[in-house]
Amino acid sequence: ALAPESSVSSWRELVKGVAAACRAADWPLTGWEGCLASDLPAAADVSAAGALTLVVARAFAECAGLPWERAQVARLCQQARLAWGGGEFSLYDVFAQAVAEDRHAVWVDPRGMLSQPVRVPARFAWLLIMDEVPRPRLDAVLLEREAQCRAAARRMRLLALRDMTLTQFTQQAPQLEEGLRRRVRHV
């Protein structure tokens, strides 16, 4: 069979990209038909592309009778997005989506590809707040936050901010400018 050809960046390209990534991973692909609908605005969430790739990968895995290996599929979906989707999402986002369980929060360590479901008590209420930030601005904000985290980690001589201890933060925070100190405190 011929490999799919890439065209203009679109949601359809992600479907083709997942098929190509599955084929590259030696999945025995079979055809399937599906319909996808969503009421989320196109600019609502940068993780929507990750969710779409997971849905498509799940369909291919089910049709091929393959086990759902979450870490492998998360990497495969990230590769599909990078190669076909015209953009990037973090492995953390797609991995967190891949390991999600109904009525659970999830603790995720994307570096070690580890996860642990955390049961949420029934008395908790779920609240989704969506603002009307246009997509280009949201992407710029996320890129700025990522750059701040990398800069702070370098200044604190850490591989990543996740490696920082409270003691390190307390000792080094006074040397950081206010915006960077707030970002590090948040992380």
Q: How far, rounded to the nearest angstrom, does the alpha carbon of residue 133 sit from its chain's CA centroid? A: 19
**Whole-angstrom distance, CA of residue 144 vs CA of residue 150:** 10
Q: What pLDDT is stored for residue 8 in this prediction?
A: 54
What are the pLDDT digits (tens) for 38-92? 665 555 555 677 888 899 999 999 999 999 898 889 889 888 877 776 555 667 7
Q: What pLDDT is stored for residue 147 in this prediction?
A: 86
Q: How is the chain classified by DSSP, letter by letter?
A: -PPPPP-S-SHHHHHHHHHHHHHHTT-------------S-TTS-TTHHHHHHHHHHHHHHHHHT----HHHHHHHHHHHHHHHSSS---HHHHHHHHT--TTEEEEEETTTTEEEEEEPPTT-----------HHHHHHHHHHHHHHHHHHHHHTT-SSGGG--HHHHHHHGGGS-HHHHHHHHH-
Residue 2 banded pLDDT, cuts 50, 70, 90: very low
Contacts of 96 (CB under 8 A, 6+ apart): 106, 108, 110, 115
What are the pLDDT digits (tens) for 108-135? 876 777 888 888 888 887 776 666 666 5
Measure Cα distances from 178 to 92, 154, 167 in Å: 27, 17, 18
The pair of structure tokens assigned to 109 is 């360590």
Q: Chain-wide mean pLDDT for the chain? A: 80
Region 121-150: mean pLDDT is 74
Region 153-181: mean pLDDT is 89
Q: What pLDDT is stored for residue 5 in this prediction?
A: 54
- φ, ψ for residue 160 (rounded to 5)? -155, 155
The pair of structure tokens assigned to 157 is 């001589």
Q: Which residue carries 């040397």 as its tokens?
A: 175
